[in-house]
Copies of this chain bind each other. A is one copy, B any other.
Amino acid sequence: MSRRIGKKGIPVALDALDTALLDLLQRDASLPVRTLADQVGSSPATCQRRIAQMRESGVLQKQVAIVDRQLVGRPLTVFVSVELDKQNAALLTQFEKRMAAEEDVMACYEVSGEFDFLIIVSAESMAQYHAFTREVFSSNNNVRNFKSMFAMNCSKFETRVPLPPPAGEPA
Contact = CB atoms under 8 A, between A and B. Distances in A.
A6 to B, nearest CB: 5
Give the oligomeric copy count: 2
Contact of A64 (B70, B103, B107, B160): B160
A8 interface: no
Given A118-B149, A152-B110, A65 B25 contact: yes
Main secondary structure of the interface of A (DSSP, over half): mixed
A53 to B, nearest CB: 12
Interface string A97-126: 001100111111111110000100010100
A168 to B, nearest CB: 13
Contact of A156 (B96, B122, B124): B96
Interface of A: 4, 6, 12, 14, 22, 25-30, 57-74, 77, 79, 96, 99-100, 103-113, 118, 122, 124, 147, 149-164, 167
A78 to B, nearest CB: 9
The residue among A12, A57, A103, A156 with the most chain B CB atoms within 10 A of its own CB is: A156
B30 A66 contact: no
